[in-house]
């Protein structure tokens, strides 16, 4: 028998949740969720990895001629980073609403195809104004990625299982820095090719790869968890039951101002939002400006790119370890205090020492703390 979400939502929400809980076979639940771990989580991790590659590659490009070639000077580079986040903030909510309306598969595929085209186009810019235009568009198209993926995870997994999946996405962010440094090192080593400077090839190659990934996501990402192509009918019934159990008060997928009001009036939402805003500034700033910081320590531009790789590798390990400890001890507050302390210590060492080796060590300490905070906060 086919079970629809409409059928499950027709009765009293709380009693329905209690009733369907008894109908769910634990082995069936484990098997269904493991399929999403195999088919969906890797795709979402790759999306995050390439999104952050395309977002932060200007930091790698900066150390080998990006500013000079586009006529930038002074605070121009800081300005293009700022313009990215203006449209990023504006378009976050519309993208999430689109995911709810049309499903994650199509929406995320469109988003990645659009931002990949912008990244590729950045390889052909010649002026500061053209760079601004590309960054504004990139911010608009990348805006909904992480909130949308977080929404997808919350729609698939029970609350107790969401933390580890969100941690995987943040580990992908850290690994994107390591991969970005490796790619930048390789491209910079090859020098000018076919009349195009090495930094231009950085945008062209990464944009082209992201375009191919977007096309694959159009085909492979499911429209909704309950209609995923890799589930059979019995497994789809199980997903419908899981949604009724885990979201008993979610009677509709349509936008509701009442739900907005409940969120806006919750002090915890405001506290978490402020904390997330502040920690994101630190995280995105670190990922964008790490090559610049390393070059400022008197490393060469080539060294600045490859020396960033181990920093990001440690950051990914630190994120996974912090999430594991947080889940293990069940005390989120301890980890939320620990992470910013590491960031402050790392920057204090980097700023306070004239020894470049000490400064480089400080970047490892920053990386160990800067990515883990958001993971713990969101879970």
Rounded CA separation 198/257 (Å)? 49
Least confident of 15-24, 144-153, 268-277, 341-350: 15-24
- Per-residue pLDDT, 275: 84
Share of the chain above pLDDT 70, in %: 90
- Per-residue pLDDT, 177: 87
Higher pLDDT among residues 256 and 324, named by residue: 324
Give the mean pLDDT of the chain.
83
Domain boundaries along the sequence of the chain = 41-221+266-377
Least confident of 216-225, 316-325, 367-376: 216-225
Rounded CA separation 292/217 (Å)? 33
> How does pLDDT run across 86-128, given as a tens digit for each residue?
999 899 888 888 887 887 777 888 888 999 999 999 999 999 9
pLDDT band at 248 (very low <50, low <70, confident <90, very high): low
Give mean pLDDT, residues 121-144: 94
pLDDT band at 193 (very low <50, low <70, confident <90, very high): confident
- Per-residue pLDDT, 207: 94
Query: Which token pair is 217?
Result: 């996501």
Q: Which fold has domain 41-221+266-377?
A: Growth Hormone; Chain: A; (1.20.1250)
- Per-residue pLDDT, 22: 53
Q: Which residues, including other chains, have CB under 8 Å from residue 62's CB and lie 6 or more apart?
A: 77, 291, 292
Does residue 41 have a pLDDT over 50?
yes
């Amino acid at each position: 028998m086919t079970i629809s979400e409409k059928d499950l939502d027709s009765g009293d929400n709380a009693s329905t949740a209690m009733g369907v809980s008894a109908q769910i076979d634990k082995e069936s639940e484990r098997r269904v969720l493991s399929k999403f771990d195999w088919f969906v989580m890797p795709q979402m991790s790759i999306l995050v990895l390439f999104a952050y590659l395309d977002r932060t590659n200007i930091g790698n490009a900066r150390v080998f001629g990006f500013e000079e070639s586009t006529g930038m000077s002074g605070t121009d580079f800081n300005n293009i980073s700022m313009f990215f986040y203006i449209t990023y903030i504006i378009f976050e909510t519309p993208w999430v609403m689109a995911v709810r309306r049309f499903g994650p598969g199509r929406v995320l595929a469109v988003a990645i195809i659009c931002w990949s085209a912008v990244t590729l186009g950045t390889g052909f810019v010649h002026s500061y104004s053209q760079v601004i235009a590309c960054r504004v568009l990139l911010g608009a198209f990348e805006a909904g990625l992480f909130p949308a993926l977080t929404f997808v995870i919350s729609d698939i997994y029970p609350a107790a299982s969401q933390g580890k999946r969100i941690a995987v996405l943040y580990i992908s962010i850290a690994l994107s820095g390591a991969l970005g440094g490796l790619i930048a090192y390789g491209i910079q080593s090859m020098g000018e090719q076919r009349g195009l400077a090495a930094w231009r090839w950085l945008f062209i190659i990464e944009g082209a790869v992201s375009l191919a990934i977007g096309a694959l996501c159009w085909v492979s990402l499911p429209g909704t968890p309950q209609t995923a192509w890799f589930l059979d009918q019995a497994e789809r019934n199980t997903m419908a039951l899981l949604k009724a159990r885990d979201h008993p008060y979610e009677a509709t997928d349509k936008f509701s101002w009442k739900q907005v009001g409940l969120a806006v009036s919750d002090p915890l939402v405001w506290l978490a939002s402020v904390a997330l805003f502040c920690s994101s500034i630190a995280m995105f700033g670190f990922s964008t400006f790490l090559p610049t910081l390393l070059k400022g320590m008197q490393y060469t531009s080539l060294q600045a790119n490859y020396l960033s790789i181990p920093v990001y590798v440690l950051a990914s390990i630190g994120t996974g370890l912090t999430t594991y400890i947080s889940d293990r001890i069940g005390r989120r507050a301890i980890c939320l205090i620990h992470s910013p302390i590491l960031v402050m210590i790392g920057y204090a060492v980097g700023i306070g020492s004239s020894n470049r080796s000490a400064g480089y060590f400080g970047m490892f300490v920053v990386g160990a703390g800067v990515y883990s905070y958001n993971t713990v906060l969101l879970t």
